Amino acid sequence: MSTYNTRFGPLTIAANDIWHCIAPMPGFTELRQFALLHLPSQGPFVWLQSLDDPLITFLLIAPEHFNLRYSQTPHFAKTEKAGITMVMVILPQTDNGQLQSNALAPLYFLPDKKQFGQWIVEHQEIAPEPLLTSPEPPAALGAQMVVPVQDAPGFKTQPHQPLPTGTA
């Protein structure tokens, strides 16, 4: 186990909790090691925290939360076991803006190998009706639970409000 600096402060992360990026994200090709972090108060959202650069994190969610489906798999998914697709969340730039997803560049996680990569798709399938979604991230990702100071017992915060979503 090693301690890494993260956006949530120093965290101890076991070697078997480290994800290796095998298909680098454009603009972040030097980043290869990541951890998945989940804050209990953030429901189905997961943070993809770079262990190479503590200032870099990406907010992820299952595509079903944006009514998206992907029938294809990326070229690097050379495994018989199914992977897990996640999309990056684009945070609103205004107070009344909606969350959006990077629908054409999803991430594909291979939990059995602790590997993931990003790939570009030509199109995503938008479901005609809302898809069922879980209030938690996919369990197979094994995201490390993180309780930052503001979520610790006894720390007073503002009530949590649901975040509006949209698509990009």
Average pLDDT, the chain: 82
pLDDT at 148: 55
DSSP-derived secondary structure for 62-125: -GGGGTEE-----TT--SSS--EEEEEEE--SSTT--BEE-TTS-EEEETTTTEEEE---S--E
Residue 26 confidence (pLDDT) above 60: yes
In the chain, the domains with their CATH numbers are: 2-151 (2.30.290.10)
Q: Tell me: the pLDDT tens digits for 127-158? A: 777 676 788 888 888 888 776 544 444 433 33
The residue-averaged pLDDT of 1-10 equals 90
Residue 168 confidence (pLDDT) above 50: no
Q: Tell me: the pLDDT tens digits for 41-61? A: 888 999 999 999 999 999 999
